[in-house]
Amino acid sequence: MTSETFLYFAYGSNMSAPRLLAADRTPSAQWMGAARVAGYRLVFDKVGRDGSGKADCERTGAPTDVVHGALFRIALGDRPALDRAEGLGNGYDAFEIGVDTDSGVASALTYLATRKDAALRPFTWYMHHVLHGARQCGLPSAYIAAIERVTAVRDLDAVRETHELSIYSKR
């Protein structure tokens, strides 16, 4: 890794390349491969700006709990846009985390929730991003099946939903 880039571990909607590579996020992102972190579990209780639940990599300390995700190399110049998209300081904080990859352990930036509400549910469009990314990264089928079982709710803001899903129809 050069000093002009950093590694980023995505475990939620940013696993989806069309979402992460958007011009207003991190167009420099390069997928490095699947990664995982033990002692954490995937939950959808982060308070989103839109009132829905977003993904969180929640520390449990149990070695059998594992969060799978994607490892990306990103230009440092894209970091401010990623921080804004993730709501750094307003729901997520940035942390360095050790992730396991097929080629060994790597230190990567990730975002962990600071504002949580277990009663929240993710929107269906958000889960589409997460599942698209999980499949794109080739995450384990049992892990993807567990994500598919998460209860999601329809976003009543149809314009937002259409906008969020439009990235999959662009060519």
pLDDT digit string, tens, across residues 79-136: 999 999 998 888 899 999 999 999 999 999 999 999 999 999 999 999 999 999 999 9
CA distance 85 to 82: 5
Averaged confidence pLDDT in the chain = 95
Closest CA to 36 of 62, 5, 57, 13: 57
Mean pLDDT on 56-77: 97
| CA pseudo-torsion sign 148, 36, 49, 91 | positive
Q: Considering the chain, what percentage of its residues have pLDDT values greater than 70?
A: 98
Where b means 16+ CB within 10 Å and e means fewer, 29-50 reads bebbebbbbeebebbbbbbbee
Task: Return the amino acid letter for 19.
Answer: R
pLDDT at residue 6, as a whole number: 98
Q: Is the pTM of this model over 0.85?
A: yes
Q: How many CA atoms lie within 13 A of 7 on its CB side?
A: 19
Paired strand residues for 111: 94
Residue 2's pLDDT is 59
Domains of the chain from N-terminus onward: 5-168 (3.10.490.10)
Place of tokens 């990306």: 72
Find the angle CA(87)-CA(2)-CA(85) to the nearest 5 degrees. 10
